[in-house]
A and B are shown apart, each in its own frame.
Chain A
């Protein structure tokens, strides 16, 4: 008699796309604000970005209940760190914490596809990209979520080194200016919205630089 499988899954996919780009002295983190389930929209105004520390913002797509739980765990761990060390966590430190937190649940994972963006201790932009179980890498730019396959090749074309034979430096950041990077992000989301049904409504953009944090919001197609 063949084994019966559960027809209930603990996971759901709420869709959405997240993007982050690291600059010489800034970091742009963006995510759309649509939350869906199946072919329905749950809300058009849901923020997928969470401030983990002064200089670390995490954008996560996937199953938002797991994302919410992950954000709570990381925020409380950061609070404990602040009590014990009397300072904020640096972005690379938060990156490692996120990786460890995700791997902790290796055999019942957080269904969360994260991008961590911020400024490192030298003030340079840094972006870390993750899979669901904590494998991570520092990169110059990244996209995660339902629109990632549409956006990533375009970012490669605009931000990668001129020849594929030239390997970029380990801590490569884009030479683009802050305004150019923000414009690029808006273009990415407009294009992804056209072809991905789970992306749209509006895009929330966070810009981190030496002066502080700035928010921008741009409407997207609602269909």
Chain B
């Protein structure tokens, strides 16, 4: 039993035309028992930057607190929000600091960068960045998510079609994973607004 599979999680981020979507499941479990069905895995860093953290729930919450702290400091010093690429490098550095006693998390970062160009990336638990132009996945349902996203993704979808695609990919994938599910949480971000929606799926 891997520590990454202790709590169960599913995370996906996808790029659209001048927008992005980031979605997660809502289950928090302790191995086979479900403890919470409303667990927050995606966190807002600023209006155009979202961070999802899969893996061990405790490390996800601790990392989130540390990163919010670092971003607030950055805002005070630089008098502006962090660019997504910069934030990704920050997360990578913080993870690598713990190279020989890591955080058991796999982050997914999604944001709108310069000129509102969508940016997504994921990294492993010690900070190896993986940039992608289409989608990134993380969590216990990652293999299912790879298959579902690869088949359903089209480039340059508008925010409504992107929402539908991400939702279908997430729900189909978590339905084949015992450790993730109990609904979905989807954020769709365009340059002008952020839409947060809860999905109802198989509640098991």
Contact = CB atoms under 8 A, between A and B. Distances in A.
Contacts of A195: 146-147, 150
Interface stretch (B104-112, B170-178, B187-195): B170-178
B138 to A, nearest CB: 14
Contacts, number: 51
A9 to B, nearest CB: 23
A164 B175 contact: yes
B133 interface: no
Interface residues of A, number: 16
Interface residues of B, number: 18
Contact of A192 (B147, B172, B173): B147
B143 A149 contact: yes
A177 interface: no
A184 to B, nearest CB: 9
A154 B148 CA distance: 5
B24 interface: no
B173 A194 contact: no
A84 B149 CA distance: 51
Contacts of B169: 157
B37 interface: no
B150 A153 contact: no
A149 B150 CA distance: 13
B144 A152 contact: yes
Contacts of A156: 172, 175-176
B145 to A, nearest CB: 8
Interface string A153-173: 110110000001000000000
B98 interface: no
Chain A CB count within 10 A is highest, among B144, B145, B147, B150, for B147
B175 A150 contact: no
B176 A149 contact: yes
B201 A150 contact: no
B168 interface: yes
Interface string B108-143: 000000000000000000000000000000000001
Interface in A5-62: none
B168 A157 contact: yes
A192 B148 CA distance: 9
12 contacts: A153-B145, A154-B147, A154-B151, A154-B152, A156-B172, A157-B168, A157-B169, A157-B171, A164-B202, A191-B147, A194-B150, A195-B147
Interface of B: 143-148, 150-152, 168-169, 171-173, 175-176, 201-202
Which 10 pairs across A and B sit closest by C-beta, in order of nearness?
A: A150-B147, A191-B150, A157-B172, A191-B151, A153-B172, A149-B143, A153-B144, A154-B151, A195-B146, A153-B148
